[in-house]
Amino acid sequence: MAEQTGLALPQSMDSSRKPRYSERILHSVSLYHEVLVHLFGKSLSCWVCFATDEDDRTAEWVRPCRCRGSTKWVHQTCLQRWVDEKQRGNSTARVACPQCNAEYLIVFPKLGPVVYVLDLADRLISKACPFAAAGIMVGSIYWTAVTYGAVTVMQVVGHKEGLDVMERADPLFLLIGLPTIPVMLILGKMIRWEDYVLRLWRKYSNKLQILNSIFPGIGCPVPRIPAEANPLADHVSATRILCGALVFPTIATIVGKLMFSSVNSNLQRTILGGIAFVAIKGAFKVYFKQQQYLRQAHRKILNYPEQEGA
């Protein structure tokens, strides 16, 4: 019994004297702290949270840039949070020191083969998506223009005649010619021929007396010449140009049926209707702009009304 007791006591004493794992960690951190203080001669201070190494001896420190003095050392956790704020979810973004502009050396653990392939596929898809979206957008616009061109041909020429023309035409010609129909309509809508006609009429209206009877005020002298508006300053919305150009074939067809119903050919009737619509609309626009020109020419500035008793 005595021998068993004598043998058991040293074992219990050895187990109690054996240092714990947490105590070994604290001891290692204390040695690390003492080495840092011994090497650099003073306590460390974090430039993010302003805490020192004496406040938390278990914190991990790092000097990630060329800074000296109080901005040399920083907590690993504090710097990680600061880098996360700068990257904003983009782990591949580069981050530099705000003081010395030195880029931080950030390393990641090695990826496994499966994760590497998935990451590579994700980056390739992210880079290809803008080009794919642009291609889809251009393709959608192209096929919309093709459809509009085909509908316009059937509307202008006639449904059956238009189908026969497109069936007999070369497919390559259709793929190139049909999309140019809305483009040509928009470009034609952007030509402001009424302004050129109005300038010529103002210049030669005295020689042509018939114009004064049709458009009163064109040949009358004005007290002053208003400043010419810059064509670029005349704000005509792009949506107005687009809608006016795309609706023009329909309007030409309607006007042709109303004014030239005796014409048998659908194409000729539509062309005549379009010419009539453009001419009538242009005449009203010229008259409207001339009246605005006269209002500007006869503009007057009144005296400031004096107050009673002043």
pLDDT at position 31 is: 52
Report the C-alpha gap between 171 and 173 in whole angstroms.
5
- Most confident range (mean pLDDT) of 28-37, 91-100, 180-189, 225-234 is 180-189
As for how many domains the chain has, the answer is: 3
Position 255 in a domain: yes
**197 pLDDT exceeds 80?**
yes
Position 309 in a domain: no
**2 pLDDT exceeds 80?**
no
pLDDT confidence band for 306 (50 / 70 / 90) = confident
Domain boundary among 158, 189, 220: 189
Residue 75 CA, distance from chain mean position? 40
CATH number, residue 53? 3.30.40.10
**234 pLDDT exceeds 70?**
no
Q: Across residues 127-149, what is the average pLDDT? A: 96
> pLDDT tens for residues 249-273?
999 999 999 999 888 889 999 999 9
CA dist list (Å): 139 to 143, 171, 264: 6, 17, 38
pLDDT at position 125 is: 95
Q: Across residues 153-166, what is the average pLDDT? A: 91
pLDDT at position 223 is: 64
> pLDDT tens for residues 281-298?
998 988 888 888 888 888
Position 269 in a domain: yes
User: Hunting for tokens 């061109």 — which residue is that?
Assistant: 149
Helix 113-157 crosses helix 266-297 at what angle (to 10 degrees)? 100
pLDDT confidence band for 134 (50 / 70 / 90) = very high
> pLDDT tens for residues 41-71?
567 888 888 888 777 778 888 888 888 877 7
Domain boundary among 189, 222, 249: 189
Position 2 in a domain: no
- The residue segments making up the domain with residue 200 are 192-300
Please indicate, yes or no, whether residues 33 and 129 belong to a single structural domain of this protein. Answer: no
Position 37 in a domain: yes
Among 123-137, 157-171, 226-240, the range scoring the smallest mean pLDDT is 226-240
Position 10 in a domain: no
**Contact call for residues 267 and 156 (beta carbons, < 8 A):** yes
For the stretch 99-107, contacts whose Cβ atoms lie closer than 8 Å and that sit 24 or more positions apart, written own/partner, are: 99/65, 99/67, 99/71, 100/65, 100/66, 100/67, 102/64, 102/65, 102/66, 102/67, 104/64, 104/65, 104/79, 105/64
pLDDT at position 166 is: 92
